[in-house]
């Protein structure tokens, strides 16, 4: 071979030359785009076909995020009690109390803490007792420092056996520390224990709220607690009478 001449390169059969390879490379994106458009027109590849160029695996924004109204629904829904009244089928024996104050003596324990709220609770409770027929001479009011002391006072009053029922009034408003949780929990469990151990009904008229505004919206709980105490006192009275009349 003469010096300076390149040795000719042998090409395998079917191998494209450099110019042909560049043409193929330039056509590939165009073919992929045409294939994608065809898939769109045909509704996409069949599920599980494994064909390339199918729908992307990522979910669309509409699938990832719920509709605006569903996302906002929990925040818009206000807490509420179930509507309707209790109905007892016919044919069953029923002992049901009445919030009547005839011949009833009532002890009222009230917390001085958050006094602007508790004095309103007390006023409504006393008004309700008077409407129910409980005379002022039959009501004893025991102020205590705070809601935490309510169970102690309720227990002491109940153990005297001079009172048909006890009304406990207080207001526990959430602050920046866990103090709220401890006081509210102990007040609730302690008042329940006082009623269980003594057999004297103790009505829970303690507000456990997030702020003063919520407390003021619930001042009628004072009257509600008074009615509850009288109703339970009547139930207990009927139960004792039924037990005494039962044959030995």
Give me the DSSP letters along 111-135. Answer: E-TTHHHHHHHHHHHHHHHHHTT--
CATH topology of domain 111-243: Rossmann fold (3.40.50)
- The question of whether 81 is a catalytic residue gets the answer no
pLDDT at 20 over 80: no
- How far is it, in rounded angstroms, from Cα 171 to Cα 10? 98
How do residues 5-16 score in pLDDT, each as one tens digit?
455 555 555 555
Geometric angle at alpha carbon 79, from 71 and 99, rounded to 5°? 170
Distance CA 158, CA 150 (A): 12
Helix boundaries (H) for the chain: 18-42, 61-64, 68-76, 115-131, 150-159, 179-198, 212-216, 221-245
Q: Phi and psi dihedrals of 87, rounded to 5? A: -125, 125
Phi and psi for 60 in degrees, rounded to 5?
-70, 165
Tokens of 113: 């803490």
Which residue is catalytic, options 21, 161, 179, 240? 179
Q: pLDDT-derived band of residue 58, with 50, 70 and 90 as boundaries?
A: low
Regarding pTM above 0.85, the answer is: no
pLDDT value at position 77? Answer: 52
Reported as a pLDDT band with limits 50, 70 and 90, residue 184 is: very high
pLDDT score, position 73: 47
Average model confidence (pLDDT) across the chain: 81
pLDDT for residue 48 is more than 80: no
Stretch 64-73: mean pLDDT, rounded?
A: 52
Band of residue 61 on the pLDDT scale cut at 50, 70, 90: low
Domain spans of the chain, in order of start? 111-243
Q: How far is residue 28's CA from residue 182's CA, in Å, rounded to a whole number?
A: 71
User: In angstroms, how far is CA 14 from the centroid of its own chain?
Assistant: 75
């Amino acid at each position: 071979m003469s010096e300076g001449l390149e040795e000719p390169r042998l090409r395998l059969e079917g191998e494209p030359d450099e110019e042909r390879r560049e043409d193929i490379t330039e056509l590939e994106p165009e073919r992929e785009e045409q294939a994608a458009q065809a898939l769109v027109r045909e509704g996409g590849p069949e599920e599980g076909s494994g064909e390339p160029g199918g729908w992307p695996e990522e979910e669309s924004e509409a699938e990832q995020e719920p509709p605006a109204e569903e996302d906002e629904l929990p925040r818009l829904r206000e807490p509420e009690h179930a509507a309707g009244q209790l109905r007892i089928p016919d044919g069953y024996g029923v002992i049901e109390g009445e919030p009547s104050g005839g011949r009833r003596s009532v002890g009222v324990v009230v917390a001085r803490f958050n006094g602007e709220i508790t004095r309103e609770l007390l006023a409504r409770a006393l008004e309700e007792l008077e409407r129910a027929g409980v005379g002022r001479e039959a009501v004893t009011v025991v102020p205590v420092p705070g809601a935490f002391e309510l169970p102690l006072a309720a227990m002491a009053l109940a153990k005297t056996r001079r009172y048909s029922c006890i009304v406990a009034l207080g207001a526990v408003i959430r602050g920046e520390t866990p103090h709220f949780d401890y006081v509210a929990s102990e007040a609730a469990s302690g008042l329940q224990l006082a009623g269980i151990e003594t057999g004297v009904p103790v009505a829970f008229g303690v507000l456990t709220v997030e702020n003063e505004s919520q407390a003021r919206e619930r001042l009628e709980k004072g009257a509600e607690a008074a009615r509850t105490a009288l109703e339970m006192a009547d139930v207990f009275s009927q139960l004792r009478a039924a037990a005494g009349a039962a044959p030995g």
